[in-house]
Chain A
Amino acid sequence: MEKPSWTPIVLSGAIPREATDLLAILVMGIVALETSLGTIGPVSFNSRLWLSLLVVPPTCALAAVSTTTRRTREELALFAYGGSSWQIFLRYFFRGAICSLVAFSPVILLEFFATAPIRELVLSALALILAGGLFYSLPSLRRIRSSSFVEHYKS
């Protein structure tokens, strides 16, 4: 008996590959570096990093909604192939998490070598994953759950 698998849906789309993803990484990366290296602002590293994390939700949400037409086609296809809304949610959650982690990785590494407390670094990485993943995937989940979503299948 063939057993349906959830991994293809999630993994086939987890890697950021669209122009909007790269732009989001760039924006978040610039903000993170600027906050980390800038001389103006709160002195301690952690408060500065936490401040720069505020850029993650809107940037990830913007990257997710700016390609709605293309995304909708993708979601419709994945549904037609037998995927569930939670699999599609996870697919975009991972993509958003990877985008934000990649963008902030230079700063996190910089602070790691500057002997910042590990616990703080792990906490900020977790916050990054959660914020990036959630805000990247929520527009998709909202679209899929809307009553008008399946209307796209009709001509």
Chain B
Amino acid sequence: MMETRSVVVEYPSIRGVLRLYDQGVSFKVDQGDFLAVLGGSGWGKSTLVNVVLGLEKPFHGSVSFREHDVTRESFVKRCGLVKTAAVFQRPTALPQMTVSQNLHLALSLAGVPRRERDDRIKEALAFFGLDKIERSYPDGLSAGQRRRIDLARALAVKPELLVIDEPTGDLDGSATNLLIPLLRGLNRNQGTTIFMTTALPRQASQAKHQVHLGPPAYLTPENRMIGD
């Protein structure tokens, strides 16, 4: 379904060039898979999510969706090949819309027929325990609730591939304990393919497969020449 080959990302920094995934990161996500990318803070987990979604371009390597090279293609083009939904570390719900309006917009954007939208929204809100706050605005809610809105929005679309960046990043202990089994259930019972990043080995161990990232390298003009 999705594959990366020898992906390397470089950023200019004051210490030289920051090189993420020095040896190149390669992995394959098949239909129904649950892959966790494990790495420390600043090792490029969120960058890898952006590369997979087409929001950032790699310095080296390639990304393919259904065996089409999409390395230079946008998120929208990638969604045309594999219906993808993303949940980022930062909450992304539109602040001027209520919880249910946010879901409505996401579904209408995904082209879900009008008659189906209400049912899907009710289902998603009930699943994540958000039915009582469907008329609330995101800014008045807790971090955990906002994270669940993002998940509800992503899952209401019924994606083939769900990309989640650090799912429990700003959640409290009880919400964290609920979320990972929920993702496992989604993968097992509904067959949703999940690509997740985390800094916690315990969470990564819940996935079917794991990819371990290494720490970034700093390249100065001298060691770049030696490397070359």
Contact = CB atoms under 8 A, between A and B. Distances in A.
A42 interface: no
Contacts of A84: 74-76
Contact of A8 (B92, B109, B157): B109
Interface string B102-124: 10011011111100000000000
A154 B46 CA distance: 6
Given A2-B111, A153-B55, A79 B75 contact: yes
Contacts of A153: 46, 49-50, 55, 88-90, 92, 165
A83 interface: yes
A77 B92 contact: yes
A119 interface: no
A81 B105 contact: yes
Q: How large is the interface on B (under 10, 10 to 19, 20 to 34, 35 or more residues)?
A: 35 or more
Contacts of A4: 76, 79-80, 109-111
A111 to B, nearest CB: 36
Contact of B94 (A2, A5, A77, A152): A77
A90 B79 CA distance: 20
B56 interface: yes
Contacts of B19: none
B16 interface: no
Q: How large is the interface on A (under 10, 10 to 19, 20 to 34, 35 or more residues)?
A: 20 to 34
Interface string A1-13: 0111101110010
Interface in A1-35: 2-5, 7-9, 12, 17
Contact of B76 (A76, A82, A150): A82
A8 B104 CA distance: 10
A80 B88 contact: yes
B153 A82 contact: no
Contact of B110 (A70, A82, A150): A82
Contacts of B166: 155
Residue of B102, B106, B153 ringed by the most chain A CB atoms within 10 A:
B106
A97 B89 CA distance: 35
A58 to B, nearest CB: 26
Contacts of B150: 80
B164 to A, nearest CB: 12
A8 B46 contact: no
A82 B89 contact: no
A142 interface: no
A80 B221 CA distance: 37
B11 to A, nearest CB: 9
CB-based closest 6 A-B pairs: A154-B46, A8-B108, A153-B88, A80-B92, A3-B111, A2-B111
Interface of A: 2-5, 7-9, 12, 17, 70, 73-74, 76-84, 150, 152-155
24 contacts: A2-B83, A3-B111, A4-B79, A4-B109, A4-B111, A5-B109, A7-B108, A12-B105, A73-B94, A74-B96, A76-B92, A77-B94, A81-B110, A81-B153, A82-B75, A82-B109, A82-B157, A83-B76, A152-B90, A153-B49, A153-B88, A153-B92, A154-B89, A154-B90
